Amino acid sequence: MKAYLGIDIGSISTKGVIIDEENRILASSYLWTEGNPIQAVKNVLNELEKKVKDKDIKILGVGTTGSARKLIGTMLGACSIKNEITAHAIGTLSKYPSVRTILEIGGQDSKIILLEDGIVTDYAMNTLCAAGTGSFLSSQAKRLGIDVKDFGPIALTSKHPTNIAARCTVFAESDLVHKIQMGYEKKDIIAGLCYSVASNYLNNVAKGKKIVGQILFQGGVSKNIGVKKAFEDLLKTEVLVDADGHLMGALGSAILAKKNSKNEVFAFSLKNSKFETAGIECKGCPNHCEVIVIKKDGRKIDSWGNRCEKGSLIH
């Protein structure tokens, strides 16, 4: 069976999927990046290999996306290295051809993608402030002494969500502490945080954008049913969440790998190689470029960051 591998390497989590010719997911993996994208991808490959060991498949293409897409794409010999907007759109359209708006909130950033007739017409990203992202919710859950997985169910029990300032992480945390000291019920504070996340997103990331249905909510925060309900209340319309919503970037990457496949077989044994990276200042010209060099088993396989041909000579 012909198959294709897609990897989405984010700052918080790393996702991987293997699909068949019909874009069906044969295996998937979702693990924490933990500040080490190379090891995280090796762990994902280990998990995927175990899940398909009894399947007679041949992986004929690899695609990468996410913040470390170039590094991991070089490491895996990817035939497709694309940005998150493209990957998420293609992955989502493969399951929801009529989607018009994608709301995505991840661990440290968020984005909105607008589509029409299957084509991306507009998008926006927020990477400057962590307010309203998964890391923000996790830190507030810890402050409140609850597991972030319980956030959503608890939020749904509230009838009077507390109004919490959400424009900035610092202000939100300060307001949260103030509301706790004032004696607000924990469930109302939790619901208020869910609404603050949705409100912050709509007022910043989605500002000036025309949000129309079909609407899909993706990213790790989409698993929080409290935030999903907040979006539905604020937008006054249905917001869908797919069970594989957190894998859409990886799915899109796998589909792109299928389209760009060179029929070169990918071997899981690659994960056993030793990969190293180093930042080296090139002194070949006055630019003094910071060149990133990646080595496989001690041999340079690629480098980037140089603004002239002298930087490419670094080993």
Instruction: Encode the chain (315 residues) as per-residue pLDDT tens digits.
Output: 999 999 999 878 899 999 999 999 999 999 988 888 999 999 999 999 999 988 899 999 999 998 889 999 999 999 999 999 999 999 999 999 999 999 998 777 789 999 999 999 999 987 656 556 777 787 788 888 888 788 889 989 989 888 887 666 666 677 778 877 888 888 998 888 888 888 888 888 888 899 998 999 998 888 889 999 999 999 999 999 999 988 999 999 999 999 999 989 998 988 888 888 888 888 878 878 888 888 888 887 777 677 777 656 665
Task: Please choose, from the candidates 147, 194, 188, the residue with its C-alpha nearest in 3D space to the C-alpha of residue 172.
Answer: 194
CA 77 to chain centre: 21
Taking the C-alpha atoms of residue 37 and residue 296, their distance in angstroms, rounded to an integer, is: 15
pTM of the model as a whole = 0.84
- CATH code of the domain occupying 2-91+250-272: 3.30.420.40
- At 77, is the secondary structure helix, strand, or coil? coil
Instruction: Please indicate whether the domains covering 2-91+250-272 and 97-241 agree at the CATH topology level.
Output: yes
CB 158 within 8 A of CB 188: yes
> 97-241: which CATH topology?
Nucleotidyltransferase; domain 5 (3.30.420)
Give the start-to-end residue ranges of the domains of the chain.
2-91+250-272, 97-241, 275-313
Residue 64: predicted pLDDT: 96
CB 82 within 8 A of CB 69: yes
Taking the C-alpha atoms of residue 11 and residue 81, their distance in angstroms, rounded to an integer, is: 17
Taking the C-alpha atoms of residue 33 and residue 218, their distance in angstroms, rounded to an integer, is: 18
Residue 193: predicted pLDDT: 86
Residue 313: predicted pLDDT: 60
Residue 295: predicted pLDDT: 85
Task: Please choose, from the candidates 195, 183, 132, the residue with its C-alpha nearest in 3D space to the C-alpha of residue 158.
Answer: 195
